[in-house]
Amino acid sequence: MVADTCFAHPGVNAGSAEIPAAALFDLLLVLDTHRQEEERLNLLDWVMSLPDDLDPARAARAVLDYESRYQGRALSAPLHRLLDVVSHFSLSRLAQFAGERRRCRFNPSQTSGESLT
């Protein structure tokens, strides 16, 4: 599988750890070319192939930065838009949403101002 070998390329430094942006871009490009018009499945395959310790938002930002400097082929516009959306939702941001949702579910009065009694 392509994902098993894609992390041998040099990457860009996007924070404290180096992200293999070229390899991640290459994998997305292969998926985009192989399975056209299935952008969501391509993105899901790509996210699922990421190492466990790599935040998908940071990886997406690194790929978008790499693509903007890359003078070769580009991702399809629909996949590029999906990748841009992913880049805005880091694990820490998602954790905030999850915490808010849990508080709201267990204590509905916290958001609506109503009491259950």
Q: What would the pLDDT profile of 24-65 be if each residue is shown by its tens digit?
A: 999 999 988 887 778 888 888 888 889 888 889 999 999 999
Domain coverage including residue 83: 2-89
CA distance 80 to 1: 22
Flag whether 116 is in a domain: no
- Cα end-to-end distance, the chain, whole Å: 57
Give the pLDDT of residue 3: 41
Q: Which residue has the higher pLDDT, 15 or 57?
A: 57
What domain count does the chain have? 1
Give the pLDDT of residue 98: 62
Flag whether 37 is in a domain: yes
Flag whether 111 is in a domain: no
Question: Do 6 and 26 meet the contact criterion of CB atoms below 8 Å apart?
Answer: yes
Our CA dihedral for 69, 40, 57, 28, rounded to 10 degrees, sits at -40
- Average pLDDT, integer, range 56-77: 90
Give the pLDDT of residue 4: 38
Q: Is the pTM of this model over 0.75?
A: no
